[in-house]
Amino acid sequence: MEKYNIYVGGTFTQTNQIISVKNSFDNSEIAQTFLAGKNELETAITKAIEVKDIMKNMPAFLKYDILMLIAQKLNLQKELFAITIAKEACKPLKLATAEVERSIQTFTIAAEESKRIHREYLSLDWTPSGNNKEGLVKYFPIGIVAGIAPFNFPLNLAVHKIAPALAAGCPIILKPSRSTPLSTLLLAKIIDQTELPKGAFSVLPMDREAGNQLVTDNRINLLSFTGSPEVGWNMKNQAGKKRVLLELGGNAGLIVSDSADVETAVKKSVSGAFAYAGQVCIHTQRIFVQDKIFDKFTDLFVEQTKKLVTGKPELQETDFSAMIDLENAIRVEQWINEAQQNGAKVLYGAKRNNTFVEPTIITNTNNNMKVNCCEVFGPVVTIEKYDHFNSAIQQLNNSEFGLQAGVFTNYISEMNLAFNNIEAGGVIINDVPTFRVDHMPYGGIKNSGFGREGVKYSIAEMLEPKLLVKNIL
């Protein structure tokens, strides 16, 4: 079985705790890697500290060259990365390929933004006490970044921490998900071949206990976590003096107005609901459709869902495959059952076979059902009617989450109502809440998160301003 060494402070190494990485479609082992412990973490932190000043003083052209080189090498190995993601994450190859392309884009943007670190040049003479003085504000790297990445975009959500950190001039220690560590370890091989100083990047698969040191250790200056709300918010209160970024989950809502183009809305929302079996933070979970078009919408929605090609993740034609593990598949099945037992009607799907859960469309739900009020993170969507647009917004907002929302409409007035009143980090007009491009600000309010990602925005979080006041006479 192929073994992936872990990347500790610039050295590829092994430990005595083996992790077996499996494809959840058939539970086959893909490869093995290693669990890092306290020692490895200590080495990673120590090495990161050693290169902190080199990173801080690295000229923009060198950061740019390193980041662009990573992007180019990723591009050359696109198929390898895609197949690795497909297998470790049980993600259909088409989507895995798109993820690699997005990671290339994320590194490219980070390269460009490394030359555009925000700086300010201020007049201070707004009162006599500031006369003949000027201010310059330069943003310096905050120090060492810890990144904790989830299983669902094993490459690109890690890259959303790595690329900005390097662009900002911060060493970064990445903890990938234990179930999907391979793609970031492959990435480590690429990064190891660049001029990035050894120690500025580490990849350490860890168990939760060891990983928790990333939260509490005061030598780490920023924690960027993507994962579940419960874990994330708990971290914030243990983080000591460090800055904390949380990208947590949601139960994203979508409104479809009768002024919208129904065909387009259906096509995009089937994809938003079932892409990667709904295991996406901005998975389209709750759809609110205007009365007049409700039947047309649901009929078309079921029809389109039926066309999804189901199969092994590593095949090019597959649209839909198994969930990440049995535990989650069973959980989703239970939530569907709970909804049905309380009066919900399944329009399609609902059956589970091992780790495979059918794309499931439910209606007649209420807000107490887990499929609505919790983050389902599985291939389930609920579709309900609304009469007035304002009531659709209310239903959508009736949630503890607020990551992104979507609205299909051709009315300016509805667009305005949506943007002013929907409680979310982003409101997507005429597309699903699942929409994301890598340079846009991305993150949630309410329980969905704290701070924003999106390359420029992540970089901003990883910088600390320093003001120079100087005389001009």
Cite the active site residues. Answer: 247, 281
Among the listed residues 37, 211, 311, 441, the single contact to a copy of itself using CB under 8 A: 441
Residue 86 and residue 96 in contact, taking contact as beta carbons nearer than 8 Å: yes
Does residue 419 interact with a copy of itself by CB under 8 A?
yes
Among the listed residues 20, 39, 238, 390, the single contact to a copy of itself using CB under 8 A: 238
**How many Å apart are CA 414 and CA 473, to the nearest integer?**
55
Among the listed residues 28, 241, 307, 341, the single contact to a copy of itself using CB under 8 A: 241
Does residue 212 interact with a copy of itself by CB under 8 A?
no
Q: Which is nearer to a copy of itself, 18 or 136 (CB)?
A: 136
Q: Which is nearer to a copy of itself, 330 or 440 (CB)?
A: 440
The one segment of 284-292, 299-307, 355-363, 462-470 that binds a copy of itself by CB under 8 A = 462-470
The one segment of 233-241, 337-345, 364-372, 378-386 that binds a copy of itself by CB under 8 A = 233-241
The nearest distance, CB 468 to a copy of itself, in angstroms, is 5
R_g over Cα of the chain = 23
Single-letter code of the amino acid located at 54: I
Residue 223 and residue 161 in contact, taking contact as beta carbons nearer than 8 Å: no
The nearest distance, CB 246 to a copy of itself, in angstroms, is 9
Q: For a copy of itself, how many residues bind (rule: CB under 8 A)?
A: 77
The nearest distance, CB 461 to a copy of itself, in angstroms, is 12
Whose tokens are 């239903």? That residue is 395
Residue 82 and residue 313 in contact, taking contact as beta carbons nearer than 8 Å: no
| Positions in 384-413 near a copy of itself (CB under 8 A) | 409-413
| Positions in 44-103 near a copy of itself (CB under 8 A) | 59-61, 64, 101-102
Query: Which CB contacts under 8 angstroms, 24+ apart, belong to 207-215?
Result: 207/35, 207/178, 210/35, 210/36, 210/37, 210/38, 210/41, 211/148, 211/175, 212/238, 213/38, 213/41, 214/41, 214/146, 214/148, 214/173, 214/175, 215/146, 215/239
Q: Report helix angle 60-76 to 93-114, nearest 10.
A: 170
Residue 277 and residue 321 in contact, taking contact as beta carbons nearer than 8 Å: yes
The nearest distance, CB 132 to a copy of itself, in angstroms, is 8
The one segment of 82-90, 186-194, 331-339, 459-467 that binds a copy of itself by CB under 8 A = 459-467
Q: 135 to each of 130, 140, 387, 452, how far by Cα in Å?
A: 10, 16, 55, 27
Closest CA relative to residue 172, chosen from 150, 151, 203, 207: 203
Q: Which is nearer to a copy of itself, 395 or 447 (CB)?
A: 447
The one segment of 144-152, 315-323, 335-343, 419-427 that binds a copy of itself by CB under 8 A = 419-427
The nearest distance, CB 284 to a copy of itself, in angstroms, is 14
Half-sphere exposure of 142 (CA within 13 A, CB side): 24
The one segment of 40-48, 163-171, 266-274, 445-453 that binds a copy of itself by CB under 8 A = 445-453
Half-sphere exposure of 430 (CA within 13 A, CB side): 9
The pair phi, psi for residue 57, each rounded to 5°, is -95, 5
List 362's β-bridge partners, or say none.
346, 382
The nearest distance, CB 159 to a copy of itself, in angstroms, is 15
The one segment of 157-165, 171-179, 234-242, 277-285 that binds a copy of itself by CB under 8 A = 234-242
| Positions in 104-163 near a copy of itself (CB under 8 A) | 105, 109, 112, 115-117, 119-133, 135-138
Q: Which is nearer to a copy of itself, 19 or 392 (CB)?
A: 392
Does residue 439 interact with a copy of itself by CB under 8 A?
yes
The nearest distance, CB 465 to a copy of itself, in angstroms, is 6
Q: Is 95 exposed, middle or buried (0-12, 13-18, 19+ CB in 10 A)?
A: buried
Does residue 1 interact with a copy of itself by CB under 8 A?
no
Q: Which is nearer to a copy of itself, 149 or 235 (CB)?
A: 235
Q: 472 to each of 119, 134, 469, how far by Cα in Å?
A: 19, 7, 10
| Positions in 310-349 near a copy of itself (CB under 8 A) | none
Q: Is 67 exposed, middle or buried (0-12, 13-18, 19+ CB in 10 A)?
A: buried
